[in-house]
Amino acid sequence: MRKIVRIRFRPAGKLYDFDCGAFVLNKDDNVIVETEQGLGLGVVAISPVPYEEKLSNKPLKQVFRLANEDDLEQRKKNLVIEKASYAFCLDCIIQLKLKMNLFSVESTFDTSKLTFFFTSEGRVDFRQLVKMLVKEFGVKIEMRQVGIRNQAKMCGGVGRCGRKICCSVFIKKFDPVSIRMAKDQNLSLNPTKISGMCGRLMCCLTFEHNTYQKLRKKFPRIGKSVDTNSGKGKVIRHNLICNRMTVRLDNGSEIEAGLDEITT
CATH number at residue 104: 3.30.300.20
* Domain of residue 254, residue span: 225-263
Q: What percent of the chain has pLDDT over 70?
A: 96
Question: Among residues 67, 90, 119, which one ends one of the domains?
Answer: 67
Q: Which residue has the higher pLDDT, 89 or 11?
A: 89
> Residue 185 above 70 pLDDT?
yes
> Residue 55 above 60 pLDDT?
no
pLDDT value, residue 159: 87
Query: Residue 110: inside a domain, yes or no?
Result: yes
Query: Residue 220: inside a domain, yes or no?
Result: no
Verdict on whether the full-model pTM lies above 0.75: no
Query: Residue 130: inside a domain, yes or no?
Result: yes
Q: In total, how many domains does the chain have?
A: 4
**Residue 132 sits in the same domain as residue 155:** no
Question: Among residues 123, 146, 169, which one ends one of the domains?
Answer: 146
**Residue 120 sits in the same domain as residue 163:** no
Question: Among residues 120, 146, 172, which one ends one of the domains?
Answer: 146
Query: Residue 218: inside a domain, yes or no?
Result: no
Q: Which residue has the higher pLDDT, 60 or 104?
A: 104
Question: Average pLDDT of 237-261?
Answer: 87
Task: Give first-to-last CA distance, the chain, whole Å.
Answer: 62
Query: Residue 172: inside a domain, yes or no?
Result: yes
